[in-house]
Amino acid sequence: MKSSISYKDMPEYKKKDTLQKPNLHSRNKHTGRYDLKALKMVNPDLKPFVAKNKHGNLSIDFFNPIAVKALNKALLMAHYGIEYWDIPDGFLCPPIPGRADYIHHIADVLADSNHGTLVKGDKIKCLDIGVGANCVYPIIGNSAYGWSFLGSDIDSKAIE
């Protein structure tokens, strides 16, 4: 489901390139600092977890799984057009920037086989073995490149 909220159109959103994450892929949307003010607007569930850290910057407690889940939900809503995303307690809440990196590197491998041109569209069929309850690879791959995904899992709760 696509969100009607456009993160980049929000007046509060300003791309922050002050803290680049050089280990992330150049097409990754998460190379700069998180704009937590804008992300709180996209996902109000994030609000109670955002506070200034010892350096005076807005941050969350990355050791708090509920805060990380709220951040990931906000990132998926803001950058990938998701209106609803949730995972049951006890399931992996993967870091969105790292998962996006995997997708971009797979796109590079496919481009190498396509004379250096990125391959987009649903002609690319992906199988996510162990998709889990989060479906992060399909969400990012479909949003970024339009790829089609089939997810499999053996955990009935994850499938539900």
What does the DSSP assignment read for 114-144?
TTTPPP-STTSEEEEET-TTT-HHHHHHHHH
Domain containing 134 equals 7-159
Per-residue pLDDT, averaged over 66-94, amounts to 93
Does residue 130 lie in a domain region?
yes
Supply 84's token pair: 């609803």
Packing angle, helices 65-80 and 96-112, rounded to 10: 40
Residue pointed to by tokens 């309850």: 133
What is the tens place of the pLDDT at every residue in 47-69?
Answer: 999 999 999 999 999 999 999 99
> pTM of this prediction?
0.83
Question: Residue 11 burial (CB < 10 Å; 0-12/13-18/19+)?
Answer: exposed
Which pLDDT value is given to residue 20?
66
Per-residue pLDDT, averaged over 59-85, amounts to 95
Which pLDDT value is given to residue 160?
87
**Amino acid residing at 79:** H
> Is the pLDDT reported for residue 98 higher than 80?
yes
Q: Output the average pLDDT for the chain.
A: 87
Question: Residue 145 burial (CB < 10 Å; 0-12/13-18/19+)?
Answer: buried
**Which of 1-10, 26-35, 49-58, 131-140 bottoms out in mean pLDDT, i.e. has the lowest?**
1-10
> Is the pLDDT reported for residue 96 higher than 60?
yes
Does residue 61 lie in a domain region?
yes
Closest-CA residue to 76 (of 142, 153, 147): 142
What is the tens place of the pLDDT at every residue in 34-48?
Answer: 999 999 999 999 999
Contact 126, 148 (CB under 8 A): yes
Does residue 33 lie in a domain region?
yes
> Is the pLDDT reported for residue 5 higher than 70?
no
Does residue 2 lie in a domain region?
no
Does residue 1 lie in a domain region?
no
> Is the pLDDT reported for residue 4 higher than 60?
no
**Amino acid residing at 97:** P
Contact 30, 21 (CB under 8 A): yes
Q: How many domains does the structure of the chain reveal?
A: 1
